[in-house]
């Protein structure tokens, strides 16, 4: 800069006003470039993303909502995690051993684990975290039933002592949703399950900026400078979680077209779940990439509320099931056949336990049979309350299709519309419909969670412990327990067929087809890890 200034002076014998002004502008331009350098570099360390939903709940154990699970993966860590091949790998755990009788599992935490407040992570934190998780999660609950005791050996070593062998131990500790085993500080993990946590201290790769959180506007995370990634390369949800971004902002843009415009203009960097009908627009933009992070896809789920009439009666559940077909739902919501397929399998099409057992005659919209059954039952025309999510493109059209089909089958339907987070809170209520309850709710879940009768939390029929709808069927629970004990793959298939047949017969869960959810990102964003969960480590912005 000095050289430029000197040559300007020497090159002009008469430093008139024009020359002086030119010199001033040159100096300002150079200064602007020098000052902009750090700012530009900093902007490249900030990623702005539109997620599938707004974050209003902070407790990833209290709710099964995926946006809260995604929030959990930002700020917490897990003992184990599934890699790209869906195999459990150690995450917070350094090493582990199993006794010869398979009853004593000993785990040692890896060195360098810290809470964001600087305190070390110890087994005193791990044990109550496991306890709170097993009180909520389906698979965790089965583990709890098989557990005699959990105890700390020292600050970094703990034991799980079983009453009987539990062959799904590592898969349970590594499960990615709907309730992953996030490790929280002892004071937080001891929060009663009926109460939501408010302390968001974590030990994961990012820190939640609670002071910048504005529900309905944005959620902000900063890189955790004290997080020590594993040395292995990232694979699925396992391996090294290297935060290459200094700041991640989840920006709320409810209108899908507005979000698309913001992505194309560069105001945001990524849309987690763009509406399928707008993908052709994005595919034409040379500055945008369309990727599919989860090749297994997701499944639409239809659930009855077993606690409230009329669906506390299996005959009404069967009448409603007769009205449904998968094609209408998939066309209305996804539209593009490249991204969906009909699937008569509770444990996912393409999965190791795919079967059509119990599915004969399903998804054929047999309206006259439904009307006949309702007449025999003496249905009095009381409207059934159907919940609709209005702010998630991948869910919004499900309820209108269900309403049409059910009404053609003889039901009267009161479709009540609300944003997704309100729906999540509403569906957790077990009160009568007249007091804010509900009869039917629908959602989508990743196929990786549905691959067997135990991991599939929509296969659980344990009553109040089960997912929303709270189905209760002892026969299903006996079969699921048998699946845990069975090591013969052929016999596992037989059990899975029996579970699926019973699920469909009793109206526990109705699968409405599978679909892929593409992600859209600016071309200067790279590093998204193929995974059933949207994570932000390893991502770079150039």
Residue bearing tokens 């005791």: 149
Residue ranges of domains in the chain: 43-254, 298-515
Task: Measure Cα distances from 411 to 121, 305, 362, 365, 382 in Å.
Answer: 54, 16, 18, 13, 8
Is residue 11 scored above 50 in pLDDT?
no
d(CA 186, CA 81): 21
SS3 of residue 294 by DSSP? coil
pLDDT band for 68, please (50, 70, 90 cuts): very high
d(CA 404, CA 388): 13
d(CA 279, CA 256): 11
Is residue 26 scored above 70 in pLDDT?
no
d(CA 385, CA 323): 16
Could you tell me if 438 and 307 are in contact, meaning their C-beta atoms sit under 8 angstroms apart?
no
d(CA 491, CA 485): 11
pLDDT 10s digits, 349-383: 988 899 999 999 999 999 999 999 999 999 999 99
DSSP state of 112: T
Q: Nearest CA to 147 among 158, 161, 136? A: 161
| pLDDT computed for residue 86 by the predictor | 84
Strands (E) located in 224-329: 247-251, 270-271, 288-291, 298-304
| pLDDT computed for residue 423 by the predictor | 94
CB atoms within 10 A of CB 140: 22
Least confident of 25-34, 122-131, 147-156, 408-417: 25-34
| pLDDT computed for residue 8 by the predictor | 34
d(CA 340, CA 362): 18
Is residue 256 scored above 80 in pLDDT?
yes
d(CA 171, CA 137): 13
Task: Measure Cα distances from 252 to 168, 217, 272, 390, 419 in Å.
Answer: 38, 5, 12, 14, 13
Length of the chain: 542
pLDDT 10s digits, 179-215: 999 999 999 999 999 899 999 999 999 999 999 999 9
Q: Nearest CA to 116 among 210, 181, 52? A: 210
Q: What is the DSSP string of 2-14?
A: HHHHHHHHHT-SS
pLDDT band for 38, please (50, 70, 90 cuts): low
| pLDDT computed for residue 12 by the predictor | 33
Assign domain 298-515 to a CATH class. Answer: alpha beta
* Mean pLDDT within 245-264: 94
Q: What is the DSSP string of 70-108?
A: HHHHHH-EESEEE-TTS-EEESSEEEEEE-TTS-EEEEE
Is residue 23 scored above 90 in pLDDT?
no
Q: What is the dihedral of CA 181, 186, 189, 192, to 10 degrees?
A: 150
Could you tell me if 183 and 76 are in contact, meaning their C-beta atoms sit under 8 angstroms apart?
yes
CB atoms within 10 A of CB 423: 25
pLDDT 10s digits, 276-311: 988 999 999 999 999 999 988 999 999 999 999 999
Least confident of 183-197, 212-226, 476-490: 476-490
CATH fold for the domain made of 43-254: D-Maltodextrin-Binding Protein; domain 2 (3.40.190)
pLDDT 10s digits, 489-506: 899 999 999 999 999 999
In the chain, pLDDT over 90 holds for what percent of residues?
79
d(CA 297, CA 299): 7
**Neighbouring residues of 384: CB distance < 8 A, sequence distance ≥ 6:** 310, 311, 406, 411, 412, 413, 414, 439, 440
pLDDT 10s digits, 85-101: 889 999 999 999 999 99
- Looking at 357-428, list the stretches that DSSP marks H as alpha helix, in order from N- to C-terminal side: 367-377, 398-408, 420-427
Of residues 141 and 409, more confidence is placed in 409
| pLDDT computed for residue 485 by the predictor | 78
d(CA 134, CA 193): 10
Longest dimension (CA), the chain: 107
Could you tell me if 26 and 4 are in contact, meaning their C-beta atoms sit under 8 angstroms apart?
yes
Task: Measure Cα distances from 473 to 376, 421, 480 in Å.
Answer: 25, 29, 11
In the chain, pLDDT over 70 holds for what percent of residues?
92
| pLDDT computed for residue 458 by the predictor | 94
DSSP state of 206: E
d(CA 352, CA 511): 17
| pLDDT computed for residue 43 by the predictor | 62
Of residues 53 and 413, more confidence is placed in 413
Least confident of 14-23, 413-422, 425-434, 498-507: 14-23
Could you tell me if 370 and 410 are in contact, meaning their C-beta atoms sit under 8 angstroms apart?
yes
| pLDDT computed for residue 14 by the predictor | 34
SS3 of residue 541 by DSSP? strand
Residue bearing tokens 């070390």: 120
> Has this prediction a pTM greater than 0.75?
yes
| pLDDT computed for residue 17 by the predictor | 38
């Amino acid at each position: 800069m000095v050289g430029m200034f000197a040559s300007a002076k020497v090159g002009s014998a008469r430093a008139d006003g024009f020359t002086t002004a030119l010199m001033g502008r040159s100096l300002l331009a150079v200064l602007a470039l020098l000052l902009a350098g750090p700012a530009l570099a900093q902007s490249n360390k900030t990623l702005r993303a539109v997620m599938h939903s707004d974050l209003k709940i902070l407790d990833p154990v209290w709710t099964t909502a995926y946006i809260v699970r995604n929030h959990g993966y930002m700020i917490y860590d897990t003992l184990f995690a599934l890699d790209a091949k869906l195999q459990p790998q150690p995450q917070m755990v350094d090493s582990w051993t199993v006794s010869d009788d398979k009853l004593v599992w000993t785990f040692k935490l890896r060195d360098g684990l810290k809470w964001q407040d600087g305190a070390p992570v110890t087994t005193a934190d791990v044990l109550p975290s496991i306890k709170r998780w097993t009180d909520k999660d389906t698979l965790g609950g089965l583990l709890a039933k098989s557990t005699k005791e959990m105890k700390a050996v020292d600050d970094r070593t703990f034991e799980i002592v079983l009453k009987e062998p539990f062959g799904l131990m590592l898969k349970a500790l590594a499960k990615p949703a709907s309730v992953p085993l996030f490790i929280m500080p002892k004071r937080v993990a001891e929060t009663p399950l009926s109460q939501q946590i408010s302390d968001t201290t974590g030990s994961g790769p990012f820190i939640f900026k609670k002071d910048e959180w504005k529900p309905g506007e944005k959620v902000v995370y900063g890189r955790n400078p004290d997080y020590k990634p594993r040395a292995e390369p990232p694979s699925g949800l396992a391996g090294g979680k290297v935060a290459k971004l200094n700041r991640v902002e989840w920006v709320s843009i409810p209108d899908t077209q507005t979000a698309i415009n913001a992505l194309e203009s560069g105001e945001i960097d990524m849309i987690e779940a763009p509406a399928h009908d707008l993908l052709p627009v994005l595919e034409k933009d040379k500055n945008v990439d369309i990727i599919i992070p989860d090749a297994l896809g997701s499944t639409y789920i239809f659930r009855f509320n077993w606690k409230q009439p009329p669906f506390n009666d299996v005959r009404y559940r069967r009448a409603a099931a007769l009205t449904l077909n998968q094609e209408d739902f998939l066309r209305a919501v996804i539209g593009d056949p490249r991204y969906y397929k009909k699937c008569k399998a509770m444990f996912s099409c393409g999965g190791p336990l795919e079967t059509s057992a119990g599915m004969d005659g399903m998804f054929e919209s047999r309206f006259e049979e439904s009307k006949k059954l309702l007449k025999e039952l003496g249905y009095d025309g009381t409207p059934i309350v159907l919940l609709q999510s209005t702010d998630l493109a991948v869910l919004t059209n499900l309820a209108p299709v269900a309403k049409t089909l059910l009404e053609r089958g003889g039901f009267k339907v009161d479709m009540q519309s609300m944003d997704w987070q309100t729906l999540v809170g509403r569906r957790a209520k077990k009160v009568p419909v007249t007091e804010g309850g509900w009869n039917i709710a629908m959602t989508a879940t990743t196929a990786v969670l549905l691959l067997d009768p135990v991991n599939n939390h929509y296969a659980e029929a344990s009553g109040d412990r089960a997912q929303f709808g709270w189905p209760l069927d002892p026969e299903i629970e006996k079969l699921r327990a048998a699946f845990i004990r069975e090591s013969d793959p052929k016999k596992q298939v037989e059990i899975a067929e029996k579970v699926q047949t019973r699920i469909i017969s009793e109206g526990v869960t109705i699968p409405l087809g599978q679909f892929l959810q593409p992600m859209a990102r600016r071309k200067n964003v790279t590093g998204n890890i193929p995974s059933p969960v949207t994570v932000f480590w390893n991502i770079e912005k150039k």
